[in-house]
Every structure is written in structure tokens, then in C-alpha cells.
Amino acid sequence: MLRPVGLILEIRLRQAWRSVKSVGALWILGLPLATVFYLSTLSTLGKQSTETVATLVLALPLLIHFNRRDLFFLEKQGFPLRLVLLAEYGLLSLVLALPVALLFEHYAALALTLSGALVIAFLPQWKHRTGSGQARPLIFLPYLAFEWHSAMRRYGWLFGLFYLPGLAFGSYTGAPLLSVVLITSLLPGVFDHCEPKELMEPFFFQPRGLWRKLGLHAALLIIAILPLAVVFFIFSPEVWYLMLLALLIGLLYLAFAILYKYAHYFPGRRKVHNSLTAGLFALGLIIPFFAPACLVYLIVLFRKAKKRVVLIYG
């Protein structure tokens, strides 16, 4: 029974290693960033209560569980499904919970986290829609923003989950800011699927097509965040600059997601795997010391994306 679990964990480690290798020379920047972020996260968790530590650590396994689509496949292949999930979620939780327990004596949080991983492993599978019926058009989005049409059908509930609390609890300074940050964190997933070459033509058959695409999606993001910004400015005018900073980071992250896709685009490719690089880029934006390197990387991506567009369309 334990052999299939070991096989799945070996596959996960190989997938993680392939993601690491795909970053290439960026690890020169990414390794210090990841180390600083990991240590600061441990320090922050060490100051929290037992319940808070367990909740924060279990947030990632819970989000993964409700978004994964391989549970039915694993079960049909004969793997002990719940044991596999327990091993995956338990090891993922231990990455943070075990050091916090050893360094800050949060042993109760460690026990609570492992118990939570056990509960998550036995939660029912999220039923994703796979019907062949025609999807309803999203008339509030321009047709050229086809990435958002797809993303809202796949992750619309998640956008709503992150968006509505920021409006409902706008009197608390951190609520709208947290909503903006969480919505921004979803942007790489909006642009990780590669569209057919024909869908790119309305942009790239015209001058400055890449700039036009960046401008369209930047305008959509600003319009989406505007209600959160208004609520924040009403209730927290003394720290208005924090919302502007969050919006600036969101726009830079949006530019990264778009440019990274087209810098690695070629006809027939279905998906650009940008999650690890996106995480490193986000850390660079959060830590001011590394922000200039992120801006330089954006320029490099823009030049590479522009060359790729010229190569495809002549």
C-alpha cells in the first residue's frame, strides 16, 4: 500500500525539479528571494496563535484540494487515494509547520496542522463542469479580452471569494488591500493558456500590438479594482498611498503575466508554465531591494515577446 504513495511523491518531486530547472539563470535572483521569504514567513508564523498558524499553513493544501482535477484519475489507477492525499498535504504542511514547531515551540500547532491535513484529505472531490453545452457569453467583457472570458468561467467563484470580503469589510484597512493582493495573485493563471494563432491577429496585425494588449488588460484590471480602491479611500484616507502601491504592483504583475506568455509562445503550444517564475517575480516586487531586478526582467521579457511576435507574423 505504501509503494503507490512513494511513487506519487517521487513524481511530485520530479515535477518540482523540472519547474526549478525551467527557471534557469533566474535562480541567481530567486534563491535569495525564496530564502528571505521563507525565513520571514517562519518569523511571522512564530508570533501567531496556535489556531492562526494552523489556519494559514492549511490554506494552501485546502486551495489545492478544491482545484485539482486528478482525483478521479488516481482512484481509477488503483492508488489509495486518501492515503496519497494525506501524504501530499501532510508533507506540504510540514514544510512550514515543523520548523515553526521546533523554533518557536508551537507543537500544538503542528499537531493541529497534521489533523487538518487528514481532514482535507477526506473532503469530497470538487465537481468541475465538463459539459459540452455552449458557455454563456460574458457580455460585460470585451471580446478581445478572451483570456478573461476563459478565466472567469474557470475561476470566477475564486475571484468573487477574494473580491466580496474586501467590499464587505472595507472599514478595516487591510481588507481591500488583501483583496487586491489575492486577485493579483490569480493573474498568472489568467494568462497561462496559449490561444490559437488566429486569436492574436486583431492585436498583432496592427502597429504597437503588444502595447495595445497591455493597455486593454491594464484598463480592465483598474476598472475591476476601482470599487475596492474607492472603499479604501473612504475608510482609510490617511494611508491612501498603500492602495496606489498595491495597484502598481498589480499592474506590473499583470504585465509580467502577459509578456511571459508571449515571450514563450509558439503556434500549437497549449500552456505556458509560469507558476514558479511568477512566484519569484512577485517576491521581487514585494521586497524593495530586488524590485529593480524585476523591472529589468520586464524589459527583457518585452523585447523577447516583441521578437516572438515579429517571428510569427513577419
- Each residue's pLDDT tens digit, 150-167: 778 777 777 888 888 888
Higher pLDDT: 196 or 164? It is 164
Q: Is the pLDDT of residue 225 over 90?
A: yes
In a domain, 140, yes or no: no
- Report CA 187 to chain centroid distance, whole Å: 7
Torsion angle of the four alpha carbons 262, 280, 96, 112, in this order, in degrees rounded to the nearest 10: -40
Residue 19 belongs to a domain: yes
Assess if residue 220 is contained within a domain.
Answer: yes
Is residue 131 scored above 50 in pLDDT? no
112, 151: one domain: no
Please indicate, yes or no, if residue 47 is contained in any of the structural domains: yes
Does the pLDDT value for residue 85 go beyond 80?
yes
Count Cβ atoms within 10 A of the Cβ of residue 146 and give its class: 0-12 exposed, 13-18 middle, 19 or more buried: middle
Q: Which of these, 6, 5, 117, lies nearest to 64 by C-alpha position?
A: 117
Q: What are phi and psi of 193, to 5 degrees?
A: -95, 135
Nearest Cα neighbor of 268 from 199, 202, 212, 194 is: 194
Interatomic CA distance for residues 23 and 274, integer angstroms? 9
Task: Tell me if 130 is assigned to some domain.
Answer: no
CA-closest candidate to residue 243, choices 297, 189, 185, 166: 166
**Contact between 33 and 280 (Cβ < 8 Å):** yes
Q: Could you tell me the sign of the dihedral formed by the alpha carbons of 11, 86, 187, 295, in that order? A: negative
Model-wide pTM > 0.85: no
Cell of 165: 470580503
pLDDT value for 209: 79
pLDDT digits (tens, 9 = 90+) for 18-29: 666 655 555 665
Instruction: Tell whether 102 and 192 lie within a shared domain.
Output: no
Query: Could you tell me if 35 and 150 lie in one domain?
Result: no
Structural domain span for residue 246: 146-313
* Same domain (yes/no): 297, 190: yes
